Homo-oligomer: A and B are copies of this chain.
Amino acid sequence: MARTQGSHSDITGPRIRAAALRLFARHGFAAVSMRQIAGEVGVQAGALYNYTPDKQSLLFELMRDHLQDLLAAAPKAAPGDTPLARLEAFTRFHIRFNTERPEEVFIAYMELRNLAPENFREIEALRTAYEGRLQRILRDGVEAGDFRVCDPQIAAYAVIAMLTGVNTWFRQGGRLSLDEVETLYWDMVRKSVAS
Residues of A participating in the B interface, judged by any CB pair closer than 8 Å: 26-31, 109-110, 113, 150-151, 154-155, 157-162, 164-166, 168-169, 176, 181, 184-185, 187-189, 191-194
Residues of B within 8 Å of A155, CB to CB, are 184, 188
Asked if residues A161 and B150 are in contact (CB atoms below 8 Å), the reply is no
Count the copies.
Answer: 2
Contact of A110 among B110, B158, B185 (CB under 8 A): B110
Question: Interface of chain A, helix or strand or loop or mixed?
Answer: helix
Q: Identify the 8 closest CB pairs spanning chains A and B, nearest first.
A: A161-B165, A28-B28, A30-B31, A162-B162, A192-B192, A31-B31, A188-B192, A27-B30
Among A26, A113, A161, A185, the one with the most B-chain Cβ atoms within 10 Å of its Cβ is: A161
Q: How far is the CB of A96 from chain B (nearest CB, A)?
A: 16
- Report the bound CA distance from A105 to B189 in whole Å: 24
Q: How far is the CB of A49 from chain B (nearest CB, A)?
A: 22
Q: How far is the CB of A172 from chain B (nearest CB, A)?
A: 16
Taking A150-B184, A160-B165, A161-B161 as given, write out 18 further A-B residue pairs in contact, using a Cβ cutoff of 8 Å, ordered by the A residue number: A26-B113, A28-B30, A110-B110, A150-B187, A151-B176, A155-B188, A157-B169, A158-B185, A158-B188, A159-B162, A161-B162, A161-B164, A161-B168, A162-B165, A165-B165, A189-B192, A191-B191, A191-B192
Residues of B within 8 Å of A157, CB to CB, are 165-166, 168-169
- Report the bound CA distance from A184 to B188 in whole Å: 16
